């Protein structure tokens, strides 16, 4: 077992009488990107929050290597970008991004490079109230990346971003989490296949694994790749599994 493997063993989650996740067992390999897809409200984000240590499993266990998610987060090795950017309103973009490194007790490095990468040049000194929703989301993604975590969890990170910027981020950000154990929740099948090494399809609530698809593609992951037959076939495989999940 590699140090960053995420091991979910018979993990279930209930909220009162509602079962959100039902006895999921998965091993997510260290250094690879796994996408979780499924119908809206199926429990994808709940599973991600359990992997982050933000929710306790009702049954089963989650370990990242030999550690609990909370232990990993405590030593600054786990980072998460939420659907809600949750930026501190009194801090600038630059200050919010730097906070990701400070909370992880790591040197504050690469902030300006990340500002440029996520397309926020000229806005480093602005506060969240002065930004659009998509710009706030881009700042939140940069904040999650600045600490160079061992485990990166992304919950619909590009949902509020315009299509052109989304395509740019899809092309450029993966290089920053190369060799990082990454879990991405997304509704976008093309995005899942483009960014991930593996796509796990979950059923309607309560979430169960109904398909586990390895993404094997030759060549660089870029816009041109999305037009190949191999890429389209993988997207069709994921879509078919999603139809079965509905």
Torsion of CA 52, 83, 127, 74, to 10 degrees: 0
* 26 contact partners, CB below 8 Å, separation of at least 6: 6, 7, 8, 200, 209
Strand residue runs (E) in the chain: 6-15, 18-28, 33-37, 59-64, 78-81, 151-155, 181-185, 198-202, 209-214
For residue range 55-114, list pLDDT tens digits in order. Answer: 999 999 999 988 999 999 888 889 988 877 889 999 999 999 999 888 888 888 889 989
For residue range 192-233, list pLDDT tens digits in order. Answer: 999 999 999 999 999 999 999 999 988 778 888 888 999 999
* Closest among 195, 181, 156, 185 to 77, alpha carbons compared: 181
SS (H, E, C) 72-131: HHHCCCEEEECCCCCCCCCCCHHHHHHHHHHHCCCCCCCHHHHHHHCCCCCCCCCCHHHC
- Asked if pLDDT for residue 168 goes beyond 90, the answer is no
Q: What is the mean pLDDT of the chain?
A: 88
* Cβ atoms 50, 62 nearer than 8 A: yes
pTM given for the model: 0.88
Domains and CATH numbers, the chain: 1-77+151-157+180-246 (3.40.50.300)
Distances (CA, A) of 243 to 20, 26, 70, 159, 238: 19, 22, 35, 21, 9
**1: pLDDT confidence band, cut at 50, 70 and 90?**
very low
């Amino acid at each position: 077992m590699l140090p960053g493997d995420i091991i979910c063993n018979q993990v279930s989650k209930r909220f009162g009488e509602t079962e959100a996740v039902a006895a999921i067992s998965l091993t997510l390999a260290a250094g690879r990107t796994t996408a979780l897809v499924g119908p809206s409200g199926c429990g994808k984000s709940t599973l991600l929050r359990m992997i982050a240590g933000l929710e306790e499993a009702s049954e089963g266990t989650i370990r990242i290597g030999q550690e609990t998610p909370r232990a990993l987060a405590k030593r600054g090795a786990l980072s998460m970008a939420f659907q809600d950017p949750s930026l501190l309103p009194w801090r600038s973009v630059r200050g919010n991004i730097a906070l990701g490194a400070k909370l992880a007790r790591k040197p504050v490095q690469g902030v300006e490079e990340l500002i440029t990468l996520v397309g926020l040049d000229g806005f480093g000194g602005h506060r969240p109230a002065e930004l659009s929703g998509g710009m706030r989301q881009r700042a939140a993604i940069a904040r999650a990346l600045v600490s160079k975590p061992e485990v990166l969890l992304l919950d619909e990170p590009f949902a509020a971003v315009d299509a052109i910027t989304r395509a740019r981020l899809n092309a450029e950000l993966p290089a920053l989490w190369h060799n990082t154990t990454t879990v991405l929740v997304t509704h976008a099948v093309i995005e899942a296949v483009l960014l991930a090494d593996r796509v796990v399809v979950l059923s309607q609530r309560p979430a169960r694994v109904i398909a586990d698809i390895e993404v094997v593609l030759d060549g660089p992951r870029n816009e041109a790749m999305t037009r190949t037959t191999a890429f389209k076939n993988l997207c069709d495989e994921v879509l078919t599994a999603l139809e079965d999940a509905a």
